[in-house]
Structure 1
């Protein structure tokens, strides 16, 4: 009789602890997913910046064209954007980071006349398990998605 009572106590304890243990496991997975995506984003921006710095000025002048366009640099803007999206200078089928698009990428010379190009990417990170955390009727849902911003400045050679 005492043995069956212990089995019941263990089942109750497991029922109480299981939601907290699952929350801990899923939160750890989301944190890992976040760090992986942020690391991927920063690597892509850095690689694209290095490519752009080496290919932006084909005329070898002291002043970059304002605004810098593909016609001025042998399609360097398009190739840089492709490098950010697909990991290569040619267009691909799906971006490395799901949801990243060319509209999220901005390339500007800042300050003007400095030959310093700044690549800025704003990526809307979304969790694996859903964008909203329910509060079970105790208030508004909590939005878990947010923007990851990465910037890279490079001086054109």
Structure 2
């Protein structure tokens, strides 16, 4: 009799604790996914910046074209964006980071005439398990997506 009572208590404890344990596991997974995505984004921006710094000025003049025009630097802007999106200077099948597009990338010389090129990327990160956390009718859903911004500056050689 005592043995069956213990089995019932264990089942009740498991029923109470299981949602919290699952929440902890899924939250840890989401945090790991976020850190992986942000690390990948910063590496891609850094590699694209190093490429741009080496290839922005094909004429080796002291002044970059203002505004920086793709055709005047040997298509360095489109190649830099491709490197950031696909990991290579040519167009690939799909971006390395899902949801990242060329419109999320901005390349400017700042300040003008300084040969300092700044790559800015704004990436809308999406969680693995969905954009919204339901509150089961207890209030408004919680939006879990947010924007990751990263910048990288190089001097054109």
* Same fold, judged at TM 0.5 (above): yes
For the residue of structure 1 that corresponds to 2:137, the secondary structure is: coil
Report the equivalent of 2:65.
65
Q: Say whether 1:114 aligns with 2:109.
A: no
Whole-angstrom distance in 2 between the partners of 1:138 and 1:49: 47
Whole-angstrom distance in 1 between the partners of 2:90 and 2:136: 47
| CA displacement, residues 8-58 of structure 1 (integer Å, 9 cap, x when unaligned) | 000000000000000000000000000000000000000000000000001
TM-superposed CA distance for 1:137, in Å, is 1.2
Report the equivalent of 1:79.
79
- Normalised by the length of structure 2, the TM-score is 0.99
For the residue of structure 2 that corresponds to 1:123, the secondary structure is: strand
Whole-angstrom distance in 2 between the partners of 1:3 and 1:138: 39
Report the equivalent of 2:55.
55
Provide runs of 4+ in structure 1 moved above 3 Å: none
Report the equivalent of 1:31.
31
RMSD across aligned positions (CA) = 0.5
> Aligned residues, how many?
157
TM-superposed CA distance for 1:69, in Å, is 1.4
Whole-angstrom distance in 1 between the partners of 2:19 and 2:48: 43
Whole-angstrom distance in 2 between the partners of 1:95 and 1:133: 27
TM-superposed CA distance for 1:138, in Å, is 1.4
| CA displacement, residues 72-101 of structure 1 (integer Å, 9 cap, x when unaligned) | 111111100000000011110100000000
Larger mean Cα displacement after TM superposition, 37-46 or 134-143: 134-143
Report the equivalent of 1:127.
127
- Normalised by the length of structure 1, the TM-score is 0.99
Give ranges in structure 1 of 5+ residues lacking alignment.
Answer: none
For the residue of structure 1 that corresponds to 2:32, the secondary structure is: helix
Report the equivalent of 1:43.
43
For the residue of structure 2 that corresponds to 1:79, the secondary structure is: helix
Whole-angstrom distance in 2 between the partners of 1:37 and 1:71: 32
TM-superposed CA distance for 1:139, in Å, is 1.1
